[in-house]
Amino acid sequence: MKNIQKTKPNDVYEIVTNRIIGHLEKGVVPWQQPWTEAGLPKNLISGKPYRGINVWLLSSLHYQKNSFLTFKQVKDLGGSVKKGEKSQEVIFWKWTEKENKKTGEIEKVPLLRYYTVFNVDQCTGIPKEKLPPAIERKNDPMETCEKIIHEMPKRPDLRHKEHRAFYNKSDDYVNVPKMETFENSESYYGTLFHELVHSTGHNERLNRKELIKNNGFRTEDYAVEELTAEMGASYLKSYAGCLVLK
């Protein structure tokens, strides 16, 4: 691949480490997501799935479709990258042969590099027939869970615009992926309950200091707030009979 960056292994390690730390500091645990619509990350043209750490790195971006292209592939399809979009690193490694200058013997050594890709959602002008179809499941609303949600006092705005789950305390809204993208209905409501419990800490509701003063990951306030959300969601799931099926 022509766009593979020639760089030192330590630079690649730093890229991966910084990406992991960045997600954790935002309180995001990307390997714990019950929505599966995006599928396994793969290259749109070759259809080959990415391997190793790339599975985690690309899945953690929370795109609706985990299909990626190099900049050249985008251009070859007649498309373009949307203005302001940033590329994502993909780690590349292989065994290569190198002569040992002291012994003259040929040794196998690992070659570690990276190249960059764009998700299909970051691009425009790609022919529809080339785009992957969405994988959706028919998950039905659960009456008891819906009743709890609709009867919540001063309930925040509920959105399904982004492919990740979070509570935005500054704008007071909860976002979760669409129900049909979850493994089952129970997982959807469990995720939604977790974020709604976070929203109860808003200053116009319970004014919970752990939410209001939360300064990010690895703080005591963050830990207490996450425990509160987990306990609250567990109670609501039990009350509604919304147990996650295994």
- CATH number (domain holding residue 160): 1.10.10.2910
What pLDDT shows up at residue 2? 47
Q: Domain limits at 17?
A: 9-130
Q: Which one, of 53, 51, 65, 50, lies nearest residue 19 by Cα?
A: 53
**32 and 107 housed in the same domain:** yes
Residues 82 and 111 in one domain: yes
Beta carbons of 61 and 88 less than 8 angstroms apart: yes
* Same domain assignment for residues 100 and 37: yes
Read off the amino acid at residue 73: Q
Percentage of the chain modeled with pLDDT above 90: 38
DSSP tag of 72: H
* pLDDT at residue 176 in the model: 95
162 and 227 co-located in one domain: yes
What total number of domains does the chain contain? 2
Same domain, 164 and 235: yes
Asked whether residue 108 falls in the same domain as residue 153, the answer is no
Residue 92 maps to a domain: yes
Q: How confident is the model at residue 1 (pLDDT cuts 50, 70, 90)?
A: very low
Which range (37-41, 47-51, 86-90, 209-213) has the least confidence?
37-41
Write down which residue in 77, 109, 130 finishes a domain.
130
246 lies in some domain: no
Query: What is the arithmetic mean of pLDDT over 49-73?
Result: 85
* Cβ atoms of residues 90 and 114 within 8 Å: yes
Please report the pLDDT score of residue 189 as a whole number.
93
93 domain residue, yes or no = yes
156-165 burial, b at 16+ Cβ within 10 Å, e below that, comes to beeeeeebeb
**Domain check: are 23 and 118 in the same one?**
yes
| Residue 181 and residue 114 share a domain | no
Regarding whether 233 and 197 lie in a shared domain, the answer is: yes
Supply φ then ψ for residue 91, to 5 degrees: -85, 130
Cα separation, 8 vs 1, in Å, equals 17
Q: Does the structure show a pLDDT above 60 at 72? A: yes
**Distance, CA of 111 to CA of 88 (rounded, Å):** 20
25 within domain boundaries: yes
138 found inside a domain: no
Other C-beta atoms closer than 10 Å to the C-beta of 196 total: 23
For residue 90, the tally of other CB atoms under 10 A from its CB is 23
Domain boundary among 107, 130, 153: 130
Domain boundary among 101, 130, 159: 130
Read off the tokens for 13. Answer: 């390690």
The answer to the question of residue 1 being in a domain is no
Inform me whether the pLDDT recorded for 7 exceeds 70. no
pLDDT of 48 strictly over 50: yes
Does one domain contain both 185 and 206? yes
- Examine residue 137 and state whether it is found in any structural domain, yes or no: no
Q: How many whole angstroms separate alpha carbon 35 and alpha carbon 180? A: 8
**pLDDT surpasses 70 at 123:** yes
Considering the domain architecture, whether residues 34 and 147 belong to the same structural domain is answered as: no
The closest alpha carbon to 41, from 125, 115, 132, belongs to: 132
3-17, 84-98, 137-151, 210-224 — which is least confidently predicted? 3-17
pLDDT tier for residue 69 given thresholds of 50, 70 and 90: very high
Q: Is residue 54 part of a domain?
A: yes
Same domain, 30 and 94: yes
